[in-house]
Amino acid sequence: MIVLGIESSCDETGLALYDSHNGLIGHIVSSQHNIHAKYGGVVPELASRDHVLKLIPLLDTLLKRENIKLKDIDLIAFTNGPGLLGPLLIGASFAKSLAWSLGIKAIEIDHLEAHIFSAMISNTKLKPPFLSLLVSGGHTLLSVIKDNSNYKILGKSLDDSAGEVFDKVARQLGLSYPGGPKISMHAGKIQSSKFSFPRPMINSDCFNFSFSGLKTHVGLEIKKQKLSPKLVSEISFEFENAILDVLISKTLSAAQKYEIDNIVIVGGVSANKKLRKRFQKEKGSRNIFFPDISFSTDNGAMIAFMGYLKSSDSIENSLEIKPSPVSRFI
Ligand code: KG4
Ligand code: ZN
């Protein structure tokens, strides 16, 4: 069976083909970072317009590159939420009309679930149960994944997500959107910092997170400074460490409390090189799994793969377009 995956929840148009026997056939992503960079965040209407422009040419390119015909596709999986309403509507309309024209089913995929299972695309032996830390622009979520449809949420961000805080602090430092990779790049230039930022809720007896206080603290510090490249690096270094300390400490405590050996770290922030290195160093006897870096941030491969995992579920195949800006998963 060949599944076409379509991702359009935010500022990446991603498509992928997944073969139930041979795994991922190929994927293609068009990022809108250049469009949104000057605004410091994603402008929903501009995002919608770019998805409209990109979906058909990307599909054509992917099919040609992988030598697959439209008639070879057996199932379409598309992101139905959470995300920006306009971009979701465009992806859902495209997926449902294409499925209708081909006489096949279109299956709704929850973006958060797709991120969580993305680590299984390349780690082919990995199976639930595992502990999952999802750290993206929209969410920070710690959960126990018992099997493909049985989850227990341990904690989530009570305010800003980790990725959102990376983006907002970067903006205050004069760095363009998306801020995570830029903060990481500036932090990587030095080995220490004169700053000392709080590690919110690191010792709380729950598994929730809160990053907005850290964002405010760093913002106030930035206002006091006359920013130079060295100061940008020092603030980035300490800020990145503060976030990573909290994420790593809470995740490893949860693994210990619930006695789970396999830990999966997914979502855009899981592309962070220092986060990957530190988790591997500090994991003790546990196993840590990441998606390929290209599947940390939004992509169609995780949607196609989730479609494959859900392909045996009974699927409602209506033409009704009802994307959900919130997750059904949490
Ligand atoms: O998963 P994703 O592509 O989109 C959502 O579902 O939200 O995550 C995007 C987020 C952005 O906030 C971006 O700044 C962050 O992931 N990000 C990073 C890195 N690469 C992307 N954060 C820290 N370090 C990185 N290397
Ligand atoms: Zn995402």
Q: What is the 3-state secondary structure (H, E, C) of the chain?
A: CEEEEEECCCCEEEEEEEECCCEEEEEEEEECHHHHHHHCCCCHHHHHHHHHHHHHHHHHHHHHHHCCCHHHCCEEEEEEECCCHHHHHHHHHHHHHHHHHHCCEEEEEEHHHHHHHCHHHHCCCCCCCEEEEEECCCCEEEEEEEECCEEEEEEEECCCCHHHHHHHHHHHCCCCCCHHHHHHHHHCCCCCCCCCCCCCCCCCCCCCECCHHHHHHHHHHHHHCCCCHHHHHHHHHHHHHHHHHHHHHHHHHHHHHCCCCEEEEECHHHHCHHHHHHHHHHCCCCEEECCCHHHCCCCCHHHHHHHHHCCCCCCCCCCCCCCCCCCCCC
Residues 22-31: tens digit of each pLDDT: 999 999 999 9
Range 75-99 average pLDDT:
97
Three-state SS annotation for 109-136: EEHHHHHHHCHHHHCCCCCCCEEEEEEC
Q: Which ligand 1 atom is nearest residue 297's CA?
A: 3
For ligand 2, the distance from its centroid to the CA atom of residue 87, given in whole angstroms, is 13
Residues 86-95: tens digit of each pLDDT: 999 999 999 9
Residue nearest (by alpha carbon) to ligand 1 atom 14: 180
> Does position 270 have pLDDT exceeding 80, yes or no?
yes
For ligand 1, the distance from its centroid to the CA atom of residue 21, given in whole angstroms, is 31
* pLDDT at site 330: 84
Position 137 confidence tier, pLDDT thresholds 50, 70, 90: very high
Give the ligand with the smallest distance to the CA of 29: 1
Q: Is 83 in the pocket of ligand 1 (CB under 6 A)?
A: no
Least confident interval from 37-51, 164-178, 263-277, 305-319: 305-319
Range 268-286 average pLDDT:
98
* pLDDT at site 316: 76
% of the chain with per-residue pLDDT over 70: 100
d(CA 271, CA 295): 9
Position 318 confidence tier, pLDDT thresholds 50, 70, 90: confident
* pLDDT at site 70: 98
> Does position 199 have pLDDT exceeding 80, yes or no?
yes
Mutate to test the pocket of ligand 1, among 166, 169, 186, 302 (most ligand atoms within 8 A of CB): 166
* pLDDT at site 326: 87
> Does position 124 have pLDDT exceeding 80, yes or no?
yes
